Chain A
Amino acid sequence: MSKKNSEYLINRKDNQYEVVIGLEVHAQVLSESKLFSASATKFGAEPNTQVSLVDAAFPGMLPVINEFCVKQAIKTGIGLNAKINKRSVFDRKNYFYADLPQGYQISQFKDPIVGEGKVILDMPDGQKEIGIERLHLEQDAGKSIHDLDPQNTFVDLNRSGVALMEIVSKPDLRSPEEVSVYIKKLRSIMRYLGTCDGNMQEGSLRADVNVSVRTKGSKEYGTRCEIKNVNSIKFMQMAIEYEANRQVDLIEEGKSIDQETRLFDTKKNETRSMRSKEDAHDYRYFPDPDLLPLEVSDEFINELKNNIPELPDDKKKRFIDEFKLSPYEATILVSDIDTAKYFEEVVAKMGKNKDMKLAVNWITGELFAVLNNKNLEISQSPVSAKNLAILVNLIKNGTISGKIAKTVFELMLDGDKDPQIIVEEKGLKQQSDPKAIEALIDKIINDNREKAIEYKQGKEKLFGFFVGQAMKVSGGKANPQLINEILKKKLQ
């Protein structure tokens, strides 16, 4: 059976099952202060040091919307090619928990700030469009800490009231791989926009994963289970794989799937039932009477639209059109805003006579390898874009060979040294004087008369030997092109 690259099916006896996945991504809004209070939002602060009377729900305290967070949500909506709703409503989602001081979470239920949109995924076998159902703003809860004391639970309210964007996808995802690409794409878009730092370790990005299965070709959706609060792409993939297989097994056994909320146990690599549909909370949503409906004007939205930076899809298109990069190269370079920034700086610093291909190869080759080894982000690169551009130019204009460049690059890693200075200091400049190279080659031919004769008699493989000798004698500095030309002439 012919199978597309990304098609992910679960096979059992005679049946093939397709997996249907929808994500509810919770992205922390990049903002100095919380959604309805002026408290700080810094990660890793001492417990309960970033809590206002509003966040702790003291009597008579009232929420006041943080306009910056509204702008961030709208910008994200624009980045998701989504409809921005000029009127949205904050609702209360009521439930009791120790780390939920108000006894309700302020969220948006019926009227979210952002409506339908879409995200384009670059899959190995082409592009795929994933529908966005909605994006809404809501408060985060605090944190319950159960493991500090055998008797008591401690509560840290630093996160209480922090602004989150919940981005709900349509059930358009079909494989763990697509989920991975989707999350990375969302993260990329938000980082371009500066609306979420996308830091999954710090919990800035996490997701509830809805999984169902159906026989391939079926149009009906199966019963879905929601896997709550998964905080890494790897875990999402593992959870989907486990959950899809669990559901398929149930169907194969003739059993039915219960609609329920499940938890993913990262240690055991399995999902476990948390609560069934019958036990589902009745959140008693109703419009928050402390807040008026949120109304934004066309002007307000347009002002934000006009200041949206170039986003990954557009940047990719421009890299292909303007810099003649392949779609593959462009995808890699735009996937992360810092990589794109680095690349563009290299391009700018290379000046007029630039070799784009060479620059791309150096970034995705040598530089990425170093970053990978040292476990660094490109924003922490030991070699600045400026110096990498100089290095590429040195290769391009023949000052050094590609081989020497690698030596120079190694030396640059220590303190981001200017490659021109390294070349000067170490005397690594390429020997490009034809007379000097001619003299060098005359000497080599003279020293290896027999081999020269053998070559002339037809043993053409020996050409490599002479090139090697020339490089060796020149300490690798001789211009390989000139060596070739002169050798050919002399050995005729």
Chain B
Amino acid sequence: MSDITKQSLTELVENIKDKKLSSTEVTKAFIERSEKSKELNAYVTEDFTSALDKANKFDQKPNLDLKLPGVPMAVKDLFCTKDVKTTAGSKILNNFVPTYESTVTDNIWKEGAILLGKLNCDEFAMGSSNETSFFGNVQNPIDKDLVPGGSSGGSASAVAGQLTPITIGTDTGGSIRQPASFTGTVGLKPTYGSCSRYGIVAFASSLDQAGPMAQNVKDCALLQEVISNYDPKDSTSIDFKRNQYSKELTNNIKGKKIGIPKEYRVDGMPKEIEDLWQKGIQYVKDCGAETIDISLPHTSYALPTYYIVAPAEASSNLARYDGVKYGFRAKGENLIDMYEKTRSEGFGAEVQRRIMIGTYVLSSGYYDAYYLKAQKVRKLIKNDFDEAYKKVDAILTPSTPSSAFKIGEKTNDPVSMYLNDIFTVPVNLAGLPGISIPAGHDSKGYPLGLQIIGKAFDEQNILNIAYAMEEKINFKNKITDWWIK
């Protein structure tokens, strides 16, 4: 069977279940393509030999009742994987090999999937372009020298470039949805508490959430079904009834009320984004849904709020990387000197910037003005959504204020970089699910995404809306394989 790597996850699962493809064939195909795709720099760690072993073992005794039978998959290098190096894109964890497995990846392997390797990401998931990774830039398969977005840039690049049939990322302020939008792929950030954070290197604990990144909505639904579970090892995991998202997926969204928030029409937004949004509104109407103008009045405060809350939590979460127990350690004259050198040399500039911001906003004398106020605004942002959801079932917005930018274009302008998260950040602050689907191209031919935001625990609904829209949009990603010589 030719072009294995062009198949969707759903197709691969069907073909393996129908014994038209073996796990070994599929795994080999993705390894071969990954080998030819080094220029993308999507992988931090390849685990190909072990993947082939596992595929071989699977084929000898295939369990075809599993949801991901023998399907190979690379994952973001923020998930701790037993006996496989886990770096979080940082020098400080460059030598770290966990003895344990994250709950989310464990769920994936239990359904028969096979680890291909660990995918590049911004250092500690802090970034919107994958440029802060200690392991270098990731190329966007759409075009050379284009960022894939971030922080799950390696994941987005690997899915778009068909180095893995599907993957998982993490999303703290848009780190799944923005790179999905930049690479013409589908990315879901689930409700906070849907997927366990156990074993995921923490960035900002109250915002971090793992989620699937895929080539289409159905694949995305299937993986979400696998990774989401109640986990007593994570105190913020929520015990709610989870759907069989892929089985219950429907394109019938007739009568659904979709909110269009006026505050997302931001100053300086390119016309092509506005046009895309209007097209999106037309698509949902074509699907039989109704659109309603709504207001989320505190939207403009979301970004500053996020850039207080997230660095505050990060400054504390990253305190454990001190050179004492594991990871990189620099030599020092004494304990303090060792700390300073380890952390100065071990963390990159963006991580250091956020640690400093976070330390500052938590400092005595500034706590009330920054952290406490941010928490209050966060509540107001959540209240905005609660109000809106009295009238609508979901909300439609652009995923990002622009298409993918060039590598290096925003490196020296952190604020302009941060502005990339303007449409995604409110969703994390409110703990809601959001999905980005590819909806069109800009004048340069780069993909653009639309975001559907749902009520808490209502992943099924936004997956259905995305599924219905996907059919109408009929998006084709323009991948030329430019990096394959």
Contact B362 A286 (CB under 8 A): yes
Q: Is A431 an interface residue (CB 8 A)?
A: no
Contact A103 B320 (CB under 8 A): yes
Tell me the nearest residue of chain B to A102, going by C-beta. Answer: B320
Q: Is B93 an interface residue (CB 8 A)?
A: yes
Given A62-B197, A96-B339, A284-B363, verify A57-B320 contact (CB < 8 Å): yes
Contact A290 B235 (CB under 8 A): yes
Given A59-B80, A60-B202, verify A96-B235 contact (CB < 8 Å): no
Contact A103 B319 (CB under 8 A): yes
The residues in A between 42 and 89 inclusive whose CB is less than 8 angstroms from any CB of B are 53, 56-65
- The answer for the CA separation of A103 and B202 in the assembled complex, in Å, is 14
The residues in A between 74 and 121 inclusive whose CB is less than 8 angstroms from any CB of B are 92, 94, 96, 98, 101-104
Which residues of A are found within 8 Å of B80, using beta-carbon distances?
59-60
Which residues of A are found within 8 Å of B364, using beta-carbon distances?
282, 284
Which residues of B are found within 8 Å of A153, using beta-carbon distances?
335
Tell me the nearest residue of chain A to B231, going by C-beta. Answer: A62
Q: Is A291 an interface residue (CB 8 A)?
A: yes
| Residue-wise interface mask of A (148-165) relative to B, using a CB-CB cutoff of 8 A (1 in contact, 0 not) | 000001010000000000
- The answer for the CA separation of A362 and B288 in the assembled complex, in Å, is 93
Tell me the nearest residue of chain A to B238, going by C-beta. Answer: A292
Contact A289 B320 (CB under 8 A): no
Q: Is B206 an interface residue (CB 8 A)?
A: yes
The residues in B between 347 and 367 inclusive whose CB is less than 8 angstroms from any CB of A are 359, 362-364, 367
Tell me the nearest residue of chain A to B196, going by C-beta. Answer: A62
Contact A286 B312 (CB under 8 A): yes
Contact of A56 among B205, B234, B236, B325 (CB under 8 A): B325
- The answer for the CA separation of A285 and B363 in the assembled complex, in Å, is 8
Q: Is B402 an interface residue (CB 8 A)?
A: no
Tell me the nearest residue of chain A to B340, going by C-beta. Answer: A96
Which of A62, A104, A290 gathers the greatest number of chain B CB atoms within 10 Å? Answer: A62
Contact A282 B324 (CB under 8 A): no
Tell me the nearest residue of chain A to B206, going by C-beta. Answer: A289
Contact A60 B201 (CB under 8 A): yes
Q: Is B96 an interface residue (CB 8 A)?
A: yes
- The answer for the CA separation of A289 and B318 in the assembled complex, in Å, is 14
Contact A60 B200 (CB under 8 A): yes
Which residues of A are found within 8 Å of B205, using beta-carbon distances?
289-290
Q: Smallest CB–CB gap between B208 and chain A, Å?
A: 9
Q: Smallest CB–CB gap between B400 and chain A, Å?
A: 26
- The answer for the CA separation of A101 and B320 in the assembled complex, in Å, is 6
| Residue-wise interface mask of A (265-289) relative to B, using a CB-CB cutoff of 8 A (1 in contact, 0 not) | 0000000000000000010111001
Which residues of B are found within 8 Å of A101, using beta-carbon distances?
320, 324-325
- The answer for the CA separation of A479 and B362 in the assembled complex, in Å, is 82
Tell me the nearest residue of chain B to A95, going by C-beta. Answer: B319
Total of A-B residue pairs, C-beta within 8 Å: 95
Which residues of B are found within 8 Å of A64, using beta-carbon distances?
232-235
Contact of B316 among A56, A58, A282, A284 (CB under 8 A): A284
Which residues of A are found within 8 Å of B200, using beta-carbon distances?
60
Q: Is B304 an interface residue (CB 8 A)?
A: no
Which of B88, B199, B201, B312 gathers the greatest number of chain A CB atoms within 10 Å? Answer: B199
Which residues of A are found within 8 Å of B318, using beta-carbon distances?
103
The residues in B between 183 and 197 inclusive whose CB is less than 8 angstroms from any CB of A are 197
Q: Is B328 an interface residue (CB 8 A)?
A: no
Which residues of A are found within 8 Å of B326, using beta-carbon distances?
58
Q: Is B100 an interface residue (CB 8 A)?
A: yes
Which residues of A are found within 8 Å of B131, using beta-carbon distances?
none
Q: Is B102 an interface residue (CB 8 A)?
A: yes
Tell me the nearest residue of chain A to B204, going by C-beta. Answer: A289
- The answer for the CA separation of A58 and B233 in the assembled complex, in Å, is 14
Which residues of B are found within 8 Å of A56, using beta-carbon distances?
325
Which residues of A are found within 8 Å of B99, using beta-carbon distances?
53
Which residues of A are found within 8 Å of B88, using beta-carbon distances?
59
Q: Is B306 an interface residue (CB 8 A)?
A: no
Tell me the nearest residue of chain A to B93, going by C-beta. Answer: A59
Q: Smallest CB–CB gap between A38 and chain B, Å?
A: 11
Contact B233 A102 (CB under 8 A): no
Given A59-B80, A92-B316, A292-B236, verify A282-B335 contact (CB < 8 Å): no
Contact of A286 among B96, B98, B197, B316 (CB under 8 A): B316
- The answer for the CA separation of A61 and B96 in the assembled complex, in Å, is 14
Contact B367 A290 (CB under 8 A): no
Which residues of B are found within 8 Å of A60, using beta-carbon distances?
79-80, 98, 102, 197-202
Contact A292 B320 (CB under 8 A): no
Q: Is B457 an interface residue (CB 8 A)?
A: no
- The answer for the CA separation of A57 and B200 in the assembled complex, in Å, is 13
| Residue-wise interface mask of B (304-325) relative to A, using a CB-CB cutoff of 8 A (1 in contact, 0 not) | 0000000011011011101011
- The answer for the CA separation of A285 and B326 in the assembled complex, in Å, is 25
Q: Smallest CB–CB gap between A270 and chain B, Å?
A: 27
Q: Smallest CB–CB gap between A98 and chain B, Å?
A: 5
Which of A60, A64, A104 gathers the greatest number of chain B CB atoms within 10 Å? Answer: A60
Contact B322 A290 (CB under 8 A): no
Which residues of A are found within 8 Å of B320, using beta-carbon distances?
57, 59, 101-103
- The answer for the CA separation of A292 and B431 in the assembled complex, in Å, is 14
Tell me the nearest residue of chain A to B343, going by C-beta. Answer: A96
Tell me the nearest residue of chain B to A153, going by C-beta. Answer: B335
Q: Smallest CB–CB gap between B272 and chain A, Å?
A: 38
Tell me the nearest residue of chain A to B320, going by C-beta. Answer: A57
- The answer for the CA separation of A61 and B320 in the assembled complex, in Å, is 11
Contact A62 B362 (CB under 8 A): no
Which of A53, A92, A155, A284 gathers the greatest number of chain B CB atoms within 10 Å? Answer: A284
Contact A284 B362 (CB under 8 A): yes
| Residue-wise interface mask of B (147-186) relative to A, using a CB-CB cutoff of 8 A (1 in contact, 0 not) | 0000000000000000000000000000000000000000
Contact B362 A59 (CB under 8 A): no
- The answer for the CA separation of A292 and B205 in the assembled complex, in Å, is 11
**B residues at A contact (CB < 8 Å):** 79-80, 86, 88, 93, 96, 98-100, 102, 197-202, 204-206, 232-236, 312-313, 315-316, 318-320, 322, 324-326, 335, 339, 359, 362-364, 367, 371
Given A153-B335, A155-B324, 20 extra CB contacts under 8 A: A57-B325, A58-B326, A59-B93, A60-B80, A60-B197, A60-B200, A60-B202, A61-B198, A62-B235, A63-B235, A64-B235, A101-B324, A103-B318, A284-B362, A284-B363, A284-B367, A286-B312, A289-B204, A290-B202, A290-B236
What are 30 sample pairs from A and B whose C-beta atoms fall under 8 A apart? A59-B88, A59-B201, A59-B202, A60-B102, A60-B197, A60-B200, A60-B201, A62-B197, A62-B198, A64-B232, A64-B233, A64-B234, A94-B315, A94-B316, A96-B339, A101-B320, A101-B325, A102-B320, A103-B316, A104-B316, A153-B335, A155-B324, A284-B362, A284-B367, A286-B312, A286-B316, A289-B236, A289-B313, A290-B205, A291-B236
